[in-house]
Amino acid sequence: MDYTSIIRDYCIIRDHHVIRGDQVVFTGDKSMPPASFFTEIYRHFDMNYPKFYKMDNLCKLGFLAAELLLKDKNLQHSDTPYETGIILYNASSSLDTDRNHQNSISDQAAYYPSPSVFVYTLANIVIGEICIRHKLYGESTFFIEKEFDADRLYNYVKLLLDDNLVESCIAGWIELDSDHYDGVLYLVEKSPSVTNGIVNFEPGKLIEIYSRRS
């Protein structure tokens, strides 16, 4: 059966704003550090997932973007959860949490490596948190790139779709380093046609969405 690859929806979290499908759905106080802003998003949308408070900031960013991206949606995996994949990118991996872990072991007088911090010293834990929350088991990979690369993201996700490894894919850029954060997630799916404002999945459209500001 012929199909079209579409961007069904997207979510952007940056500059103390949350954008979902062309609409600014939440604005926070610009004086807030990322952790406080993320907590405000969580509370504003009345999310109920207590494990959120145990996550590091990178995972919180990815979790929130995925939660809002998938809100009120039925993913294209009616037969099996293996039909939805997750492909993420960023530039600094888990460096923010790596620093926190290093700080916990640098002081010989107060040496105490925290297991709760150490568990997040891998960038792909973000994918794990999203998969646990939404019960997804499809293809997943976390790539490290110097900057957002629409062509690379497009080619990898399109390959998964064309090879029938997934029917839908959560893909995008989840970057956090100290006070800098930038989260952009797309929901890409196979579809018989493009309707109701949904757009084709292509590099130019990925860039257009990624470049949006509030």
Tens digit of each residue's pLDDT (9 = 90 or more) over 157-181: 999 999 999 999 999 999 999 899 9
**CATH of residue 178:** 3.40.47.10
Least confident of 38-52, 68-82, 131-145: 68-82
- The predicted-structure confidence for 116-126, as pLDDT tens digits, reads as follows 666 666 788 99
Give residue for tokens 């973007």.
65
Mean pLDDT for the chain overall? 88
| Cβ atoms 173, 182 nearer than 8 A | yes
- Check pLDDT > 90 for residue 192: no
- The residue range of the domain holding 141 is 4-210
What domain count does the chain have?
1
Distance of CA 140 to the CA centre of its chain: 12
The pLDDT, as a whole number, for residue 90 is 95
Q: Which amino acid is at 81?
A: P
DSSP annotation of 48: -
User: Which among 203, 198, 176 has a CA at the least distance from the CA of 14?
Assistant: 176
- Nearest partner of 192 among 167, 165, 157, 158, judged by Cα: 167
Whole-model pTM: value is 0.90
- Which helix (H) or strand (E) covers residue 97, if one does? helix 95-106
